[in-house]
Amino acid sequence: MKAYRVTGTAPFGSQRQEFSYDFAAEDADQATAKTYSIIGSRHRAKRRTITIADVSEIDPRTSTEPQILHAFREQIAAAGGRITEVKEEE
């Protein structure tokens, strides 16, 4: 299993918005299929209305998605912990 980040645009209600999802998948095609499935079930969007701009393999330590952190917990712990962007407090 590898970690993938899928980005693109989809209709959420009456407007199109950008999205980004992180998945644990065998390959990029499986991550793409999961994206279509999730957006279709949550927002009733058809596959032809969803535009996927990029599917890229990522380091699981950079994700904040709980499913990714759980799937790769041993690998993340062995590598010394998560790598996340430091956000400034507002």
CATH number at residue 46: 3.10.20.10
Residue 43 lies in a domain: yes
Query: Is residue 10 a contact partner of residue 43, using CB atoms and an 8 Å limit?
Result: yes
Give the pLDDT confidence of 5-28 residue by residue, as tens digits.
999 999 988 899 999 999 999 999
Burial 49-59 (b: 16+ CB within 10 A, else e): ebebeebeeee
Residue 85 lies in a domain: no
Residue 67 lies in a domain: no
Task: Please tell me the pTM assigned to this model.
Answer: 0.84
Domain that holds residue 34: 2-58
Question: What counts of helices (H) and strands (E) characterise the chain?
Answer: 3, 3
Query: Is residue 37 a contact partner of residue 23, using CB atoms and an 8 Å limit?
Result: no
Residue 79 lies in a domain: no
Summarize the confidence of residues 58-84 as an average pLDDT: 88
Q: Which amino acid is at 21?
A: Y
Residue 29 lies in a domain: yes
pLDDT at 86: 53
The total domain count for the chain is 1
Give the pLDDT confidence of 37-67 residue by residue, as tens digits.
999 999 999 999 999 999 999 999 999 899 9
Q: Which amino acid is at 80?
A: G
